[in-house]
Amino acid sequence: MLGEKWRQLIETADFAFQPIVNIYTGKLYAVEALIRNYEGAGFNCIDSIFDQAFSEKVLYTIDIHLREKAIHKFSLLPFCKSIKLFYNLDNRITMMPDFKSGYTCELLSTYSMEPSNLCFELSEKHQVGVYAGVDKLVLNLYKQQGYKMAIDDFGVGFSSFFYLRELPVDAVKIDGSFIKNLADNSDDVILVNALCSVARGFGKKVTAEFVESEKILEIIEQMDIDYAQGYYIGRPSPIEQFLAERNLPSK
């Protein structure tokens, strides 16, 4: 049974959506779900939520509650079936005693969506499951079920390349630390071009994060990058604001 702190988090937590657009058409490709309103439950940062949940062995349970909330919010977008929802997946959920696969398929079916509408973002923050071989099995199952998968923070560590080679991912998101200074740092231009080349060699789509100015957008338009995300493209916003900015009603 979950304690009061976790029940409060589940009740008060919300999600903001940040747009990801096709660089060449300008059309909305996806939104990333970013957790908000967690401070009221006593957490000072997002990482602290998942680290504590992991230590208390309730990470899978908490993630499922948050995942359901994110998918429900996403389903309120009138065009949700034509875009993707990017959701950050903490790979340590596979180590939880109550972990099981299949629930997300049921959840998506409830909202009349397909697994291909959901893209799990994988980070190298927590490597233990991957190197134990657990995640590869689970992620291959996710792939078979039709989910999309992307490597987040691509390029910040060797594990990114391990993920690219060993896991069934569809895309990479180049870490924003390489993108935000492109206009002032020629070394970052070289690095981003190299990262794009590696990703393309594996047949993956590429997203640039931290696109925060017109100049940065102009630079990445000259690179082998498919999608852009960042403050210049659009800030994270609650669904009501997200729809209002586009003059659209919710479902």
Contacts (Cβ under 8 Å, ≥6 apart) of 55: none
pLDDT at 225: 96
What single letter denotes the amino acid at residue 56?
A: E
Q: Distance between CA atoms of 6 and 161, rounded to whole angstroms? A: 35
Each of the 251 residues of the chain gets a pLDDT tens digit; together they read 788 999 999 999 999 999 999 999 999 999 999 999 999 899 999 999 999 999 999 999 999 999 999 999 999 999 999 999 999 998 888 889 999 888 899 999 999 999 999 999 987 665 544 444 556 777 888 889 999 999 998 988 766 787 888 888 999 999 999 999 999 999 999 999 999 999 999 999 999 999 999 999 999 999 989 999 999 999 999 988 888 877 767 66
Confirm whether pTM is higher than 0.85.
yes
pLDDT at 248: 66
| CA nearest neighbour of 180 among 200, 206, 209 | 209
pLDDT at 131: 44
Q: Where are the beta strands (DSSP E) in 7-157?
A: 14-22, 28-36, 84-89, 118-122, 148-154
Radius of gyration of the chain measured on its C-alpha atoms: 18
pLDDT at 130: 47
End-to-end, the C-alpha distance of the chain in Å comes to 34
pLDDT at 132: 46
